[in-house]
Amino acid sequence: MLKGKVAVVTGSTSGIGLGIARALAAQGASVMLNGFGAAGEIEEIREGLERVSGAKAAHHPADMSKPAEIARLIEAAGSKLGSVDVLVNNAGIQFVAPVEEFPAEKWDAVLAVNLSASFHAIRAALPRMRRRGWGRVINIASSHGLTASVHKAAYVAAKHGLIGLTKVVALETALEPVTCNAICPGWVLTPLVQKQIDALAAREKLSPDAARRKLLADKQPSGEFATPEQIGGLSVFLCSPAADQIRGASLSVDGGWTAQ
**Position 1 in a domain:** no
Question: Are 112 and 202 found together in one domain?
Answer: no
Residue 10 has what pLDDT? 98
Secondary structure of the chain in the HEC alphabet?
A: CCCCCEEEECCCCCHHHHHHHHHHHHCCCEEEEECCCCHHHHHHHHHHHHHHHCCCEEEECCCCCCHHHHHHHHHHHHHHHCCCCEEEECCCCCCCECHHHCCHHHHHHHHHHHHHHHHHHHHHHHHHHHHHCCEEEEEECCHHHCCCCCCEHHHHHHHHHHHHHHHHHHHHCCCCCEEEEEEEECCECCHHHHHHHHHHHHHHCCCHHHHHHHHHHCCCCCCCCECHHHHHHHHHHHCCHHHCCCCCCEEEECCCHHHC
In this structure, what is the dihedral angle of CA atoms 74, 76, 79, 80, given to the nearest 10 degrees? -120
Of the residues 125, 126, 155, 178, only one is catalytic, namely 155
Question: Are 162 and 216 found together in one domain?
Answer: no
**Position 107 in a domain:** yes
**Position 193 in a domain:** yes
Question: Are 217 and 241 found together in one domain?
Answer: no
Question: Are 68 and 102 found together in one domain?
Answer: yes
Range of the domain at 218: 188-225
Residue 218 has what pLDDT? 82
Distance in Å from the first CA to the final CA of the chain: 36
Backbone angles phi, psi at 87, to 5 degrees: -120, 120
Q: What CA–CA distance (Å, rounded) separates 114 from 90?
A: 8
Question: Are 160 and 206 found together in one domain?
Answer: no
Q: Which helix (H) or strand (E) holds 140?
A: strand 135-140
**Position 66 in a domain:** yes
**Position 216 in a domain:** yes
Question: Are 139 and 110 found together in one domain?
Answer: yes
Question: Are 18 and 60 found together in one domain?
Answer: yes
**Position 239 in a domain:** yes
Question: Are 128 and 37 found together in one domain?
Answer: yes
Question: Are 199 and 246 found together in one domain?
Answer: no
Question: Are 214 and 231 found together in one domain?
Answer: no
**Position 96 in a domain:** yes
Predicted TM-score of the model (pTM): 0.96
CATH of the domain at 74: 3.40.50.720
Residue 80 has what pLDDT? 96
Does 155 participate in catalysis according to the annotation? yes
Residue 196 has what pLDDT? 87
**Position 210 in a domain:** yes
Question: What does the pLDDT profile of the chain (260 residues) look like in tens digits?
Answer: 999 999 999 999 999 999 999 999 999 999 999 999 999 999 999 999 999 999 999 999 999 999 999 999 999 999 999 999 999 999 999 999 999 999 999 999 999 999 999 999 999 999 999 999 999 999 999 999 999 999 999 999 999 999 999 999 999 999 999 999 999 999 999 988 898 899 989 999 999 999 999 989 989 999 999 999 999 999 999 999 999 999 999 999 999 999 99
Question: Are 22 and 50 found together in one domain?
Answer: yes
Question: Are 14 and 132 found together in one domain?
Answer: yes
Q: State the total domains in the chain.
A: 2
Q: What CA–CA distance (Å, rounded) separates 19 from 13?
A: 9
